[in-house]
Structure 1
């Protein structure tokens, strides 16, 4: 795995990746705010086939827009980030899809689990994003598009757009590829 924007403090041992985010980091592209941010932390593998990636994670979210989860990236103008985003004092299930302009969807988590679990699948040019619940297993909450003819960067991401940083722990990160 390799870094885009390596954080100031991190470790990777066994099935655990622990990251302390740097302040004022984010991924965003133009929409509504008018700015471009490509400074969030992204630890990734390059994948050129269909795949399924999953991870469990927990964070000490405290500041507006603290975020953690998975990222799928073709380049700086075409990417998806999904996971938890801390908004108005609570955790939200979030997905940002960027094709030159970012869009953002989020749903508040009334009773967020201590550890959150995500799965993202690439099937051709379709990206399926699902979250885990004890009651129902994985449930699809977003399907979107990313070009299928290019290798993608796939991995864990986190950022602290407004705050001074926080710690996030990723566990059981797993990528399965199709041949």
Structure 2
């Protein structure tokens, strides 16, 4: 699988994978993937990604973990879709760990015109203890076998049990299936503190292509 990178700092010019298949991203503040009215549109977080035709994408997953200490410290799985016709604005979905109210949580953010944001506590699921989360994205397949517009975001828990967390209903609506999407890993540190960097480790990054 060919991987590309963006927004890496010199100290992180070779993010992996290492011999164990682990990737490492180092984010400095302020970095983020975020869009908010009237004019915030940030996409400067370090990323590692694979480019694949929309028509080929089925699912992807990764496990992210790090030393989350500062508000909004984050890392996980992201997907970027081509802009709408007549627009140059990236459309994207990201999900992973985000540090909020003094603890790591699972976050999901989806941006079409502007971004939304949701959080899920990991305290009752065991993932909070080691600050890690396994996230999966999958494209919805209809009962007739066709591929729909929905992207599902799932939390993969112990023993591989998958819990649907969000459905992004517009993700694959009115897209040119021959165009390419990006699927990969990100780390971001929106807020500065006494620690200038955030290190995030990623394991078991897998992209599954359709076979039909």
Same fold at TM > 0.5: yes
Q: Are 2:194 and 1:153 equivalent residues in the alignment?
A: no
- Give CA-to-partner distance per residue, 1:93-146, whole Å, 9 cap, x none: 100000020000112222414232111112442211111221671111111131
What is the aligned partner in structure 1 of residue 78 from structure 2? 71
Q: How does 1:33-48 map to 2 (within 5 A)?
A: 34-48=39-53
- Give CA-to-partner distance per residue, 1:26-55, whole Å, 9 cap, x none: 011124x75221111121011111221111
What's the TM-score, normalizing by structure 2? 0.77
- Asked if the contact 2:64/2:96 (under 8 Å) is kept, the reply is no
What is the aligned partner in structure 1 of residue 210 from structure 2? 178
Higher helix share: 2
The runs of 5 or more residues in structure 1 that have no matched partner are: none
Structure 1's 171 and 28: CA in aligned 2 closer, same or farther, altered over 3 A?
Answer: same
Q: CA-atom RMSD, angstroms? A: 1.9
The runs of 5 or more residues in structure 2 that have no matched partner are: 83-88, 141-146
Q: How does 1:1-179 map to 2 (within 5 A)?
A: 1-10=3-12, 11-12=15-16, 13-14=18-19, 15-31=21-37, 34-48=39-53, 49-75=56-82, 76-110=89-123, 111=126, 112-114=128-130, 115-123=132-140, 124=147, 125-134=149-158, 137-144=161-168, 145-147=170-172, 148=175, 149=177, 150-163=179-192, 164-179=196-211
| TM-fit CA distance, 1:23 | 1.5
- Asked if the contact 1:7/1:19 (under 8 Å) is kept, the reply is no
Cα distance in 1 for residues equivalent to 2:58 and 2:138: 6
Cα distance in 2 for residues equivalent to 1:8 and 1:61: 22
Pair member with larger Rg: 2
| TM-fit CA distance, 1:72 | 0.3
Q: How many residues align?
A: 178
What's the TM-score, normalizing by structure 1? 0.90
Of stretches 55-64 and 74-83 in structure 1, the one that deviates more from structure 2 is 74-83
Structure 1's 7 and 138: CA in aligned 2 closer, same or farther, altered over 3 A?
Answer: farther
| TM-fit CA distance, 1:61 | 0.8
